[in-house]
Structure 1
Amino acid sequence: MLGSLRSIVQQVNAARDLPAVLDIIVHRVREVMDTRVCSIYLRDKQSGSYVLMATEGLNPDSVGQVSLEPGEGLVGNVVTREEPINLERAEAHPAYQYFPATGEERFSAFLGTPIIHHRNVLGVLVVQQAEQRRFDEGEEAFLVTLSAQLAGVIAHAEATGALATIGQQRREAKFDGIAASPGVAIGRAHIVAPPASLSTVPYSCCMDVEAELELFHQALVAAREEIRAVGERLKDELNREERALFDAYISMLDDNSLAVEVCDRIRGQQLSASRAWAEVMLEHVRRFEAMSDSYFRDRAADVRDLGARVLMHLRQQQQSERDYPDNAILIGEELTAAALADVPREKLIGLVSIKGSANSHVAIIARAMGLPAVMGAQELPFERIDGAELVVDGYRGELYVHPTTELRRRYDCIVEEERELARHLDHLAGLPGETADGHRVRLWVNTGLMADVVRSLERGAEGVGLYRTEVPFLLRDRFPSEEEQREIYREQLEAFAPRPVTMRTLDIGGDKALAYFPIEETNPFLGWRGIRVTLDHPEIFLGQVRAMMKASLGLDNLRIMLPMISGLGELEAARKLVERAHSELVDEGYDIVMPPLGIMIEVPSAVYQARELAERADFISVGSNDLTQYLLAVDRNNSRVANIYHALHPAVLRALRHVVDAGHAADTKVGICGELAGDPGGALLLVAMGYDVLSMNATNLPRVKAAMRAVTKADMDSLLEQCLELHCPEQIEETLSSYLKRVGLKSLLQPM
């Protein structure tokens, strides 16, 4: 059955629309399982009922006419039970319901399995036979496996169908994702695709067919010359079989039928050359992948590679012609910091990423930049909406393509409310961060881009609790030199002087990979990242801390912070290197004060050694984003488990309290620089715990200061004790929300 399963999934993936997907499924399943009937019922999003959408074996006229509520009939029972129903005599079951239009009275054996996507039952896949028999375990397992694999494909096909009228009658279409950065953006979609990914080429048409044909033929010629040159250069290093691959590539490019297919799509459908090429090559890839012979299946990778090579040349020729629109909303399968940096800041107003979660690195940068963002929008057919008008709701994680006038008016009101609140909080910038009864807490900011500086100072930042030094590394195609780093760090230190600036040493690995220093690992978040990388590469670490210290010359407002410390050995090893770099600079004649050296508490082992670490560090700061991830065993970039990640989880709050108590027991200052510090309700709990410094993105600083100054420390202490007695994060969240409303801070909550 495995071969059949693979073949069906490949065919379905290649289908152009939802009706084609459903027709392939019912036809192939009926054929593979040798049954008389195969049918699919799908949920109607408006009514919530399940409608017969495709069938092989029942009366075709009943498609679209038969509808069942959850719990109604056998199909409705599969929905409510969320598990298969396998019956020898369907008509004898108490839930059986007869629909004359289908002609199903001839069939007794019934097997129905739910199609579940993200905990929602999208539909039911049913097979039936005339004879009275129970489908065996192998058949049931096959149908369950197939339903699970097809769920995502069907969901994506449904979403794509909502946009099928692009360029004609445009309907409003809504898509759900994960709220990642608060705010509302109304603008135009700008698709960012990897330069050599066939599967993410945006759907686009061309204005000049002849010019597009010429562009395509130029790309073919350039790819052919490149492959010949590479093959010639490596001919002495390759054996005969390996050299034959280059000949095969040339042969495929010389194959006139391939070019004809692409040209037909450019002429007939007026597709852009890159889109036409991608469609044709992906169809060939899928044909190879669906073949039963393993040798030919393996050739699919060669076809994909060839397609990517030609696509690279097409993209190079097209890139210079493409401009960013005003009010650009950047959309990509997995956005990066580098992709953000490519867009002129004055044109960028929002972000949407198909992968990732609210706590992925790019989401954190979006919050720092004050850009509304939605992550994990898995069903958005982004390759079809380039240039479309969008509304991005970063509060609720919702996207609207081609919004109606009424919807736009509603969101324009929310945008105006945001501006009014920002104006209302502006007067707080010059006031200290303290509670209503005078308890003082330092409010610092997290930065990484120079664009953060002005915003941070305007909003009253008292220092920098986290400067992400990896950002300049991510924006380059090589390691920046020591002098380049010194200049970058000097800008930050000068801008905030005499306020303290806490610079975290290079924190790469996990979700932050450098293109020129790839780290390939099965489990990157538990692997080679943070301090582990730089201790293994002292040349990188020493160069960076030397640059930091040289940048601080005459300012003396530098603090160095070490990421992902898991034990005392790492702290001591790093301290020796920092002291060595300082001694070298002093020997070279620099009059530099040894900066304070602190650590980040991000992993459970550091929580339980917080006292010992605090005794040996000049300060400690909790990175609550990663600490939450590791405590809850949730990959914060994985949208499938994003709902489990919660910074207000009772276990997280208890760990945070333990760390600050341990730090103060060692007479060491304790800060926190995770996203929880930038949430008004979360900030009240942290102040009650005793944190000395809260560091957050500049956008949230006025909200947090307003919440702090409206409440006494005693009231915060009472609120904390109440929350620590609760057992689930949702209860804690509701308690905080109710409290803020009760004390007149409702405006600080996210608009709904």
Structure 2
Amino acid sequence: MLSTLRSIVQEVNGARDLQESLDIIVSRVQSAMDTEVCSVYLHDPDSNKYILMATEGLYKEAIGRVSMSQSEGLIGLVGAREEPINLEDATQHPRYRYFPETGEERFRSFLGVPIIHHRRVLGVLVVQQRDSSRCFNEGEEAFLVTISAQLAGVIAHSEATGAISGLSLTGEESSEDVSFRGVAGATGVAIGAGVVVYPPADLDAVPDKTVSDPEAECEHFRQAVVAVREDIQLVAERLAPQLRPEEQALFDVYLRILDDNALPGEVIRRIEDGQWSQGALKQVVQQYVRHFELMGDLYLRERAVDIRDLGRRLLSRLQEGEQEEVTYPDRTILVSDELTPAMLGEVPRGQLAGLVSVRGSSNSHVTILARAMGVPTVMGMVDMPVNRLNGRELIVDGFEGVIYASPSQELRAIYQEICDEEDELFRGLEELRDKPCITLDGQRVSLLVNTGLVTDVARSISHGAEGIGLYRTEVPFMINERFPSEQEQRAYYREQLEAFAPNAVTMRTLDIGGDKALTYFPISEENPFLGWRGIRVTLDHPEIFLVQVRAMLKASEGLDNLRIMLPMVSNVSEVEESLHLIYRVYHEVREEGYNVTMPRVGVMIEVPAAVYQVRELADRVDFLSVGSNDLTQYLLAVDRNNPRVASLYHSFHPAVLQALVQIVEGGHAVGKPVSICGELAGDPGGAVLLMAMGYDALSMNAASLPKVKSVIRSITSDWSRELLHDVLELDSPHVIKSCVDLALRSAGFGRYLRPERSFAAAPRYRSAVE
């Protein structure tokens, strides 16, 4: 059964559209289970009914014509219960409904299982048998459940592809807006035209396009084939003296695959049908790969690798000769399987409106760039058919992590109003730039910025930042192809220190690992977020740590506004070892003649172990700073970059708030200042709670500074403490967030909160991928 399951999934993955996927499913499952009927009913959001979409065994004329409501028939019952229903004689069940157009009166035994993707019931997969004495056994039921679970994502992806075109399941024009949910990367709303970009020589990322001159495209492809043949022949001749005859024969296999009657011939036929050469090559190579992977012989299965290699070679040649230039409209929404900083740099200045990426996280380098540039971004769009978004109007909702494809005029008007209100709000807050962040009754809290880029400096200062609460030193490491030298690091750090002098600049020592990788220093682990990252890496490689600290100290000469912060600390011993190295470098730099002062050193509290050792850690350093993003992730055991569990990640979770209270109380108990950096600090409601807890400084993205400052300057500390007291009694993160938002709206600060009209408040939408 495992082999059968694997082959079915691979076949379905290769289907061109939803209908072909469903036809493969019913045919192969009917054969595998040796049953007379296999059918798929899908839930249609437009009609809110289950529609027969494919069948083997029932009358084909019934496809697309038979439908039933969610409270109707056995199909509706399977969907409502969200679990399998296995009956020896379905006709005796009170929920049985007979549809004469299907011819199903002949079949008695019934097994139906729900098709569920991200908690949404997509449809029902059914097998039936004429003989009522046959009851599908536990193994058969388990197999069908497994098939359903495996194929749910493929079906959802195929549905979404059709939905983007504005079509319902029945092929009719849909009346609802289509949304896709991912992970919010950078807040804000953008409306613009999608431009799909893709990395070179990546077949999977090639979009589908049509061509107006197929003959010219065919000639372009033939030239690429000739060039690759010549490359292979040259390599074969060069290696001939070193290879045995059987090894040399592999090159002959490559050349036979490139024969005009083999792979190139099939590509040419697809180009003649209107597909561009790169898209046609992708389709044919993927088809070949699937066929080889389904073969029983191990040697033949491994030939799939050769096909992929040839495909990449041909694609590289096609792209090498590709003359077409990407056109960027005035409001470009850049879309890719995986965005890179280089892709962002290609968009002309002032034309980048939003970003959408299938891969990536809320902490990726591109996301950090997007926040610095103020570009609304959504990442982790894992089930979205990227290739269908080119040229379509898109709405990027960076508040909720949602995009809309080809929105209705009504929905577009709602989001345009949100954009206009955001612009107007920021213009109105500019006057606060040079005013202190102090409550009506005199409580002072410092507002700092999280940064890592030179481009952040002007933006941060213009928004009224009082210093840097978190400078991500890994960014200079990530944009290089090797470890930056001491002199290079010194130049990066000096620029930041000078820009904010005399205000303090808190530099976090190198924090790689987890989702922050260096191409020249790869860390491969099964569970990277619980692995070798942060201070663990730099203490294991003191040569990296020492050079970095030395560069920081030399950069601070004459400014004396440097603070050093240690990330991912979970043991007192890590702090003591780090302090020993920092003091050692300090004395060495002084001996070299640099007139520097010993910087204050602090610890990031971002793992649960540190929460319970706050006093011990605070005793050994000068300050504490909470990394609320990672702390929330570790407390809740939720990968915040995984869209499948993103709904479980919540900064207002009672456990998180209780931990934050414990941290600030512990730090203050030994007389040390405590700050916090993370998304919670940049949320106006979160900032109010943190101020009430007693945090001395809040560090956030520059865009959040004006809103937070305006709210804090308009309230009293007593009001904030009363709100904190109330929410600490609650046990639901969603109720806490709603309570805080309600309090702010009642106090007249609703304009500073996430727009209520985004996402679920849209009048009409259907989620193509929940």
| Matches of 2:586 and 2:524, distance apart in 1 | 33
1:98 aligns with 2:98: yes
Letter in 1 for 2:99: F
State yes or no: 1:693 paired with 2:694: no
Shift of 1:204: 2.3
Residue of structure 2 aligned with 1:490, choices 494, 507, 521 = 494
Pair 1:344–1:657, CA change in 2 (3 A): farther
Q: Aligned residue for 1:202? A: 207
1:116-141: CA deviation from partner (whole Å, max 9, x where unpaired): 00001000000101101210111111
Question: Post-superposition shift, 1:643?
Answer: 0.6
Q: Relative to 1, partners in 2 of residues 1:463 and 1:5: Cα closer, same or farther, differing over 3 Å?
A: same
Q: Per-residue displacement from partner, 1:29-61 (whole Å, max 9, x unpaired)?
A: 112111111111111112221111111111222
Which residue number corresponds to residue 72 of structure 2?
Answer: 72
Map 1:538-553 onto structure 2 (within 5 A).
538-553=542-557
The residue aligned with 1:107 is 107
For the residues of structure 1 that align with 2:568 and 2:142, how far apart are their CA atoms? 44
Contact 1:357–1:642 (Cα < 8 Å) also in 2? no
Identity percentage of aligned residues = 60
User: Per-residue deviation at 1:710?
Assistant: 1.6
Which string of whole-angstrom CA distances, capped at 9 and with x for unpartnered residues, describes residues 638-661 of structure 1? 111111111111111111111111
2:69 maps to a residue whose letter is E
More moved, 120-129 vs 608-617: 608-617
Matching residue of 2:47 = 47
- 2:295 aligned counterpart, secondary structure: coil
> Partner of 1:134 in structure 2?
135
1:479 alignment partner in structure 2? 483
Alignment of 1:450 with 2:454, yes or no, is yes
- Deviations, residues 544-593 of structure 1 (Å, cap 9, x unaligned): 22222222222222212121111122222222222233233222222222
Contact persistence 1:266–1:276 (CA under 8 A): yes
- When residues 30 and 474 of structure 1 are mapped into structure 2, their CA distance, relative to the original with a 3 A threshold, is same
- 1:266 maps to 2:271: yes
CA distance in 2, matches of 1:506, 1:252: 48
Name the aligned partner's letter for residue 526 of structure 1: L
The separation in 2 between residues aligned to 1:565 and 1:238, in whole angstroms, is: 53
CA 1:210–1:448 in 2, change beyond 3 Å: closer, same or farther? farther
Q: CA 1:539 to 1:288, structure 2 compared with 1: closer, same or farther past 3 Å?
A: same
Moved more, 405-414 or 196-205: 405-414
Unaligned stretches of 5+ in structure 1?
Answer: none
SS in 1 for 2:334: strand
Deviates more, 1:238-247 or 1:61-70: 238-247
In 1: Cα distance, 2:5 partner to 2:539 partner = 47
Contact 1:337 1:471 in 2 (8 A): no
CA pair 350-240 structure 1, distance change in 2 beyond 3 A: farther
Indicate conservation of the 8 Å contact 2:177/2:408, yes or no. Answer: no
Distance 1:194 1:240, change over 3 A: farther
Task: Give the deviation of 1:250 after TM superposition.
Answer: 4.6
Name 1:398's counterpart in structure 2: 402
Of residues 195, 198, 209, the one that matches 1:193 is 198
- Partner residue in 1 for 2:766: none
Residue identity matched to 1:126: V
Aligned-partner Cα distance in 2 for 1:65–1:663: 68
Alignment CA distance shift 1:566-1:334 (3 Å): farther
CA contact (8 A) 1:341 1:475 kept: no
Structure 1 match to 2:523: 519
What secondary structure sits across from 1:640 in the alignment? coil
Counterpart secondary structure, 1:699:
helix
Q: 1:216/1:574 Cα in 2 relative to 1: closer, same or farther (>3 Å)?
A: farther
Matches within 5 A, 1:454-469: 454-469=458-473
Summarize deviations over 1:185-212 as a string: whole Å, max 9, x none: 1122222334333222112234554554
CA distance in 1, matches of 2:151, 2:298: 23
> How many angstroms apart in 2 are the aligned matches of 1:173 and 1:743?
34
Aligned equivalent of 1:371, options 344, 361, 375: 375
Aligned to 1:436, what secondary structure does the other structure show? coil
Q: Give 3-state SS (helix, strand or coil) of 1:123's partner.
A: strand
From the superposition, tell whether residues 91 and 684 of structure 1 become closer, same or farther in structure 2 (CA, over 3 Å). same
1:299-330 Cα distance to aligned partner (Å, 9 max, x none): 22332233223323433444884354432212
Match of 2:670 in 1: 666
2:417 corresponding residue in structure 1: 413
Distance change (3 Å), C-alpha of 1:202 and 1:125? same
In structure 2, the CA distance between the partners of 1:6 and 1:204, relative to structure 1 (3 Å rule), is same
| Residues 576-634 of structure 1: per-residue CA shift (max 9 Å, x gap) | 22223323322222222222222211111111111111111121111111111111111
Aligned-residue CA RMSD (Å): 2.5
| CA deviation profile, 1:215-273 (whole Å, cap 9, x unmatched) | 4345445545655666777788888776665554454345652122222222331x332
Higher mean C-alpha displacement, 469-478 vs 223-232: 223-232
Q: Distance in 1 between matches of 2:653 and 2:244?
A: 58
Give per-residue Cα distances to partners, 1:58-104, cap 9 Å, x unaligned: 12222222222223211111011100000001011111111122111
Which residue identity is paired with 2:625? S
Sort the Cα spacing of 1:616 and 1:343 in 2 relative to 1 into closer, same or farther, 3 A: farther
Q: Distance in 1 between matches of 2:749 and 2:154?
A: 44
Deviation at 1:684, TM superposition (A): 0.8
Q: Does the C-alpha gap of structure 1 residues 244 and 726 become closer, same or farther in structure 2, counting only changes over 3 Å?
A: farther
Amino acid at match of 2:19: P
- Structure 1 residue 496: Cα displacement: 1.4
* Match of residue 186 from structure 2: 181
Taking the aligned partners of 1:81 and 1:208, their CA distance within structure 2 comes to: 53
Q: Report how many aligned residue pairs link the two structures.
A: 749
- Work out the CA distance in 2 between the residues paired with 1:332 and 1:734: 34
| Paired AA for residue 496 in structure 1 | F
What residue in structure 2 maps to residue 329 of structure 1?
A: 333
- Report the 3-state secondary structure (helix = DSSP H, G, I; strand = E; otherwise coil) of the residue aligned with 1:426: helix
Q: How does 1:166-315 map to 2 (within 5 A)?
A: 174-178=178-182, 179-206=184-211, 208-209=213-214, 211-224=216-229, 245=250, 248-254=253-259, 256-269=261-274, 271-315=275-319
Shift of the alpha carbon at 1:537? 2.0
The unaligned stretches of length 5 or more in structure 2 are 758-770
Pair 1:218–1:468, CA change in 2 (3 A): farther
Q: Secondary structure at the match of 1:114?
A: strand
1:741 Cα deviation from its structure 2 partner: 1.0
Q: Which residue of 2 aligns with 1:161?
A: 162
Give how far 1:670 is off: 0.8
Asked whether the equivalents of residues 428 and 702 of structure 1 are also in contact (C-alpha less than 8 Å), the reply is yes
- Shift of the 513–248 alpha-carbon distance from structure 1 to 2, 3 Å rule, reads farther
Matching of residue 604 in structure 1 with residue 605 in structure 2 = no
- Residue 149 (structure 1) aligned with residue 150 (structure 2): yes
401-410 or 142-151: bigger deviation: 401-410
- One-letter amino acid of the counterpart of residue 302, structure 2: D
In the superposition, relative to structure 1, how do residues 225 and 704 fare at CA in structure 2: closer, same or farther (>3 Å)? farther
Change (3 A) 1:274 1:718: same
Q: Give, in angstroms, the shift of residue 371 of structure 1.
A: 1.5
Question: 1:521 Cα deviation (Å)?
Answer: 1.1
Q: Deviations over 1:116-174 (max 9, x none)?
A: 000010000001011012101111111100000110000100111124589xx998852
Q: What CA deviation, in whole Å up to 9, does each residue of 1:688-723 have, x standing for no partner?
A: 111111000011111111111121111111111111
Q: Distance in 1 between matches of 2:328 and 2:522?
A: 29
**2:639 & 2:663 partners in 1: Cα distance?**
22
Offset of residue 400 of structure 1: 2.3
Superposed displacement of residue 426, structure 1: 1.5
Please say if residues 256 and 262 of structure 2, whose CA atoms lie closer than 8 Å, have aligned partners that are also in contact. no
Q: Does 1:615 align with 2:649?
A: no
1:719 alignment partner in structure 2 = 723
In 1, distance between residues paired with 2:223 and 2:602? 56
SS in 1 for 2:703: coil
Structure 1 pair 517–207 and aligned structure 2 pair: CA distance change class (3 A): farther
- Flag the 1:494–1:220 CA change in 2: closer, same or farther, 3 A: farther
